[in-house]
Structure 1
Amino acid sequence: MNLDEELPIICNADRIPALSGMHTLDRIIVDFMKEQQIPGGAFALSYKGKLIYKQGYGKASFEREVQPDSLFRIASVSKTLTAIGILKLVEQEQIKLASTVFGPKGILSNYRRTAKGDRRLHQITVHHLLQHSAGWDRDRVGDAVFWNLDKVVRKKEATAQDTTLRYMMSKKLQFAPGKRHSYSNLGYLVLGKVIEQITGLSYENFMKGLLSQLDIHNMVVGSNSPSYCTKDEVEYYHNPSPNSASFDYSKEFWMPAHSKSVVMDGTAAYGGWVATTSSLVHIYDSLAGYGLQQLLKEKTSRTMLDRPTYEHGPEWYGLGMDVEDNGLSWSHTGAMEGTSCTVMHEKSGLTWALYFNAWSKDMDLNGLVKYAISTVSSLPLRQESINLPHKYLSVISEDQTQGITVMLPLIYLKEHVRLMSEAGYNAQWINCCKWNAENHFNIIWNQDNEHGSFHIMINIKSNRFEETNQRQSENGYFIKHLENYSIADEVYFAIVFKKQPNVVQKVFHHQNPEEHLCRLDKMQEHGFHLVIQSLTSVNGSLVVSSVYEKAELSEKTVSWTAITVDNFLFELNKQIQNNSSLVYVKFFNDGEDPLVSAIWNSKTNNNYWQRNGVSRYGFLYELKLCAVRNRKMDYLSAYVEDGAVNFAAFWPCKTDSTKSSS
């Protein structure tokens, strides 16, 4: 099956009454699958505990198609199930959240620290393990569940997991238990052992007994055994060239469910379950209190959402799930080779599960679902669409004074600019992002209230820049915004000109960073302040295009040319405290690394609500929310991180607070 072929959408065999507009939701999910090179997926949706839609998309294997009730691996979503199992034992007073796990008084008393082991190992509690706060930090030392200890440990235990735990008793923790969060597969492996120790049953059998209370009987734990066979389970696709623009879903890259390409044996408690989308939706609805049968008491379910003492924002990891909206929404995602998935209960009363049988570079699957649902008129997240002046325009504000274009391919740019101008809009900001070796443009359009004072020129070659700028300045037009980008290793420009009296500018369109930095101080000495600082990578080297304007000597300007996102956020808060306002910001790529170019000025005192690190569909959903509230944007950038397009956007606000995401 070629990527360019139509992915089949399998109709729901159970004939749940159709919702109007669901074909648009299906189309968005299928488009995402094509973009991410994913052959198959499944989706289920409920509202206030009632299943209202389920669907299958694409290929379950080289020969089969996905059905709405196909089984998929759910990877780390398995952790929610393990947490439910532990909390059931707490309800039954067989263990306590404060119970210690290791050492002579621990639940797993046969696991004790060695002379080299950290003394704090015996302080780890069940609660710490559920919260990922036990003290193991995989970012610093790696993820122990994936270590091969054959050459390290001479005496083997009964299973590879037992060998890993015994080995970890001789190691140090990276922080004190309960001090902070650090995601840990190892912690949930231990919780699976706790369940087996307390119940005397295998982890899988105990959990299946618990799930039967919801009449769920088709969930299984995956295995690499040749005898393992679940006829309704999909096969998993390993994409050998995930960054290729085109490819075939070749038969040789499909992995049967029992394939040893991905280790499944021993992963049950932290990543081994196999389930349908509707089963996970049913489980999450049970935690929300819907239905006659509940897995846990309401009080216990609420415990899963409690905010840890070390967390202070609106989002955190509770007990086996990610918590959002200050405890009103909760979810979990999962990813492994051949698998990407999410399940979420949203504060609106909607619950959904979305599974794919291949790795997704863009893992903001909940953002994808929110955006897709927002197009369905009969569902709570619906955002009414306004007729757009042009088909490539993504969002327009409710008062129609601002429009946002997202990831417009270069080949459509000229036509789009012409039609938006004819519709009465001026480009205020242009940003270029190179993705899959092609240039895409993000544009902020404002309603034209100054007829004839703005115009835009695109695809200006570097050798024509000075001539173009000179001709415009002679006619009273000066650069309002400038964006540089590369085509075939040459620098090009998109320029917004505005007719302005009494403006004195100095423009340097092609510099390396060293030349630019040397020029900065000299320009300030002569009373010119930096207002634009666009950077792009050309054939492995950065090119800086800068614009200076004559300003008052009392003004102070601070600029950073190419800093990391984390350093930018630190500097942003610092400049807010110094009463300096952001006057320019661009996120861009230098190779695989996202960097930021930014300028602050002391003359103005505006603050910004900012968002970064959000991928396309989640960003489009947030754009629609802002459009309904007529919240106008000043700056917009797209950049690539870990193979997925991310966005950074800035809206002016009247308070001194900022918001960020990464």
Structure 2
Amino acid sequence: MDVLRMLFCGCIIIAHFGLNIEAAGLKYGEAFKNLITENGYKGGATGVLLGNRLGYIEGFGQTITGHNVYHETLLPASGISKIITALTVLKLFQENTLHPNDKIFGEQGKLAKFTPAPEQITDSRILDITVDDLLRHAGGWDAEISPVADPVFNEFLVDGNHHLVNISKELKLKTPLKTVDVIGFMATRRLDFQPGTKSSVSNLGYLMLGRVIEEATGMPYDVVVKENILNNCGMWHTRLGPHTHEGQQVYKGRNPREINAELREKHEVIGEYYAYVQTYMVDSCLGWFTNAYDAMRLAQCLDGSADYKLLNDSTIENMARRPRLDRSNDDSWYGAGFKIHEGGAIWVGEEPHAPDVVFLHRNLKRHTPGTVYTNDENEPMAWTLLFEGKPNIDAPLKQLSRAMVEGETHWPTTNAFVNDLNDRILSIGPITKLHKLRVEEHVANAYLIALQRTDYNVIWLNAYTHAGGTFITVIAERDPKASRECVAVAGLTREKLVDKKLELEDLGYNMTFFQNYKSFSHRDKFVFLAVFHKGAFRNDSRILYGIQHFDRPYKTLLTLYEEKGYRPLVQSIEYNRDDALLSFILEADSDKEKDQKPIYSSEENLSEARLEKCVRKYARDQKRLIYLDASNHRGKPKFSALFKKTRMTKWLFSQGLSPEDLLITIDEKQKEGYLPSINIGYSTKRDELLFATYMEKPMKDVANDDVI
């Protein structure tokens, strides 16, 4: 992306905090880089939401592990982790799974199992703490005055500070401190203030909220977050866990005291220790890693500018109100996860024990889903700054970021949200296609939602396995209307596929595409991916769906129904040991009950050599390849293919391509007027990842693509 052209209005000089911004007209990107280098951060990334698009994104510097920071680099989410937890709780409020006034401790409390025995309770006020108090940092703990300090980081803080209470020593632990130890111990301590009367940022409170989520749903915290927040918001990068180094968690399995000593010598500040802390100790308070793409997708998700709003208006009102007993007249206060300003802005800022972050949204009520977005497309509505390392001196990051953003007058006009969704974007005339070769299956649903919200309609999906993992390859076409009437889902069990089909049929959607595949993410189980489009079939169409039919009965069934006017649209193949299983979609129009055999041809159990011969054979009969799938049988790929007799266009078919060769081929052939319509991945006996692609020249009149 081109570096922004940025001019600051007037003269702003902030020299006391290491940043010098003058009327010389620094670009936003240059100002951001200066903010990093002049304040001693190791690196960082920033994103700015303009209207309903990502207008700017930049990565700069290095991570704490010495890797360069790029646009997509994951950085500590710090306080954004608390946003993620708070939004998960608010969603559970919205679904009536939780209530703000639910108590935390006591026999009926959400964390009843952590409640001390009556004789161990030293402060009866712990029985008054509510879920709402935890959300607003009003649970009664103040790390600034507590003799425990921040209990979540107690194991690090007590090393060298003998004035602090050492939880491990108090509990006589012989193993590293765990979440259950911290919560149980703090439940026996006196509170620092009456719950609900004021707010003090509390990692402990949000650590407890993670456990509340687990108790309320019966599922792990991260699973609930993924299903309720990350997937719905298209946040396909965001994950729990520390930095990785060469594929391994740094310091994994090491003794905490050894880690602490090494970190003190190497890094000196606790903000850098955060990168190595065990995930389970900070998951719901500081445990997430994200990037600027996903942080700004979260902003879209909050205000509804991408045609989806995470929370309804009443829940947002609940999120923004003051703590229940706060009677101060301050113009800002702690809401649920955010600092709230009476003017409508929300934000999170610096954390004392984690790298700095800014997440700011100027007004959540700017847009109503389902309406045309009318705000100035160049108006900055939200932005994020993610930093790595701790600065030399604490700067007023919120104010600085606002000055930097508001000083810019020439933002790029493109939507950078699409940048991390593609390997290639190719255009010929009015047709623009996006290609992505590798999306990890466990983030595929979040990716597909993110793709749809950039106005790309999914026209091809394929799942493949390689090197012990399952991945998705995608082709999508830019089509704002169709993208809003498309639902694509991966990782569906047989039962969930049927449920999803019935659910979406009630809303007027038809399942137009699906594939059966064996998933490593689901412990080597058979699962499905599916694509649904609204009103895809005519009202008089008759549709037959079949799941995992053995190949010989399937051939008999296909012959029977082709004679009755049914045409095959999907023919997915998967092997269960030596049994070939076929899943399919057949369609027939009631007024066109004619034999489809001369028009459609079906092939399955094809080797690589036979596949290429079939493509060429049917091309001589003026039949195009319309569907292709691959499965692994005893280490070798086997293919299933469908061909349709149509008004032919020029085409190219290639197989046995490495990912790199495929992208080179796509680039070269686009210059000759070809665009891929099918890409599939498959593995060889040597576990080598290869691709097959079918490319065509777009027809001038697609509407007349009739049977000859």
- TM-score w.r.t. length of structure 1: 0.48
- TM-score w.r.t. length of structure 2: 0.45
